Amino acid sequence: MATPLRLRLPLAAVLLAAPALALAGTGRHSHTLDASLGAAPDRATAAVSWNHLFAVFPGRLEAGLGGRLTSFRARGPLVFRTGDPDLVRAGLGNRLVLSDPWVTSLNVQLLVVLRIAGPLEAGFDIDLAGFSFGPARTGDYEATDPAFAGPRRAGVSSFDLLLGDIRDRGQLNSEFFLGWRLDERWTVRAGLSHVATEYRTVEPLDGGNRRFRRFTNQAFVGVSRRL
């Protein structure tokens, strides 16, 4: 199920690296406020974040942590697939079709920005952990076992955690982008975002599974301001 956009780092490695980044950037920190909007047919993602960056290599490489609020909303039916990693590995996936899903998350994120040349920079960010919320939906479950097929109620998974690839949980947003610094404070950005969204059924279904996930890739534009 992995895609080229799903460049996932194990959460433990990220957390172990964070203190090292902080030490490398002691006395060379900055803050940014970012906003972005991504879109694909019949769905969109809006996000705002605050970030604390450390100058690992001043004028060239910055890295840090922040908090990001992301809202994913779609119009019409979307297919969510089995999210239990053991069932996925065994090829025992099923589909839950939900109409008009709407999920909002508040997560800690990792952000890395590299100055390429002049005002041109490239960056990457990814959610690490947090929580999500949103309205429940009733979907159509396409089961392997006919006894489970039919309408099923599902709510937004409340806990988000980056573990790596199919082990991830909840809603996680990541962005790959190029930026152009207009001046010392303002930067415009554009790139690709990858959003994982998860619902949980009220009752266990085939194989005891309750988790259903969807991955959405979108183009996005954004703006960043140094504070």
Distance of alpha carbon 9 from alpha carbon 42, whole angstroms: 30
131 phi and psi angles, rounded to 5 deg: -145, 160
Per-residue pLDDT at 28: 87
Residue 27: band (very low, low, confident or very high) from pLDDT cuts 50, 70, 90: low
* Selected residue with higher pLDDT from 73 and 41: 73
Residues 6+ apart with CB under 8 A from 55: 25, 28, 29, 30, 61, 62
Quick: pLDDT tens for 155-214. Answer: 999 999 999 888 999 999 999 999 999 999 999 999 999 999 999 999 999 999 999 999
- What's the whole-model pTM score? 0.86
- What are the DSSP E strand ranges found in the chain? 29-40, 43-57, 61-74, 77-82, 95-99, 102-117, 120-133, 137-142, 150-156, 159-161, 172-181, 186-201, 211-226
